[in-house]
Amino acid sequence: MLASIASTFSSPLVHSLTLFVMFKLLSHTKFKPTFFSYLSVLPLLWLLICSMTYPSVLLIKHLENTYPVIPLGSEEWRKTQAIVVLACNYFEDDELPFVSRWPNCSLQRNLHAALMYREHPMPIYLAGDILGRNDEFPQAKHNKYFFEKMGVDSADIFMVPKGRNTETEVNALVSLLEGKNISLVTSASHLPRAVFYFE
């Protein structure tokens, strides 16, 4: 519950507008109304800054540069024994074309892992429970379907339909991965948190 609230308020759109409303309400009280009236401009400036590409890139750049890029042709990842792909999301809408059902984070992670498998086949491990309120199937099942579509042998796909966030996905996979060296595939900005949980 707290994680859900924290996730919601981490969005600049949510916390900026919330602060703006709070400061505007306080500007109508007898306690320093002019001060709060001026202060109400700051959340709007913050929202403007966050909506621009360059400041957003600067804010996330240090996370994305924590780990080096490992090219598909590298021998480094081929020495591992498994590819682990962390879930992102999926739109359960059969009327959408296949490619449109995947948010960018899912599409990038899955496609990169499929290309890795094509270069050097090894087992792929997936986790992820039902994520959407109206979804019928777990994320791991959708991802398995993606890999099968990309030509990955079903026998090489190991699926655990559990986990609604990074920590619980890792907990769901840990017994299957114990003692294995893995190639972890996720978004660059997500890697520091994901590596922390796997370690």
The full set of domain ranges for the chain reads 2-51, 77-198
For 14-63, where are the E strands, in sequence order? Answer: none
* 3-class secondary structure, 153: coil
pLDDT at 35 over 70: yes
Question: In the structure, what pLDDT confidence band is assigned to residue 11 with cuts at 50, 70 and 90?
Answer: confident
pLDDT at 3 over 70: no
pLDDT at 158 over 90: yes
Alpha carbons 26 and 32: distance in angstroms, whole number: 8
147-172 mean pLDDT? 96
Looking at residue 125, its pLDDT comes to 98
| Helix (H) or strand (E) run with residue 36 in it | helix 33-39
Total H helices, total E strands in the chain: 9, 4
For 82-130, where are the E strands, in sequence order? Answer: 82-85, 124-127
pTM: 0.80
Q: Which CATH class is domain 77-198?
A: alpha beta
| Helix (H) or strand (E) run with residue 157 in it | strand 157-160
Which percentage of the chain shows pLDDT scores above 70? 98
